[in-house]
Amino acid sequence: MTMLDLRGLKCPLPALRTRKALTRLAAGEVITVVCTDPLAAIDIPHCVAEAGDLLEESGRDGDTLTFRILKR
């Protein structure tokens, strides 16, 4: 499983870097994205759906957002 730590980055960087990371994965691989930008709660799920991948899980712990994404 790949981990992408994007804490401290502001919109649109978390979504752009997530999209770029997804292009490097093979189908069936999982990536966990961690970020602190509140807009990522909207942008990353949209990015994942647009790419045709699957957002398996998302969560929030204080200011930290976590997304578990399956590459299709």
Residues acting as catalytic residues: 11
CB-count exposure of residue 13 (10 Å: 0-12, 13-18, 19+): middle
Distance of alpha carbon 47 from alpha carbon 19, whole angstroms: 7
Distance of alpha carbon 71 from alpha carbon 19, whole angstroms: 11
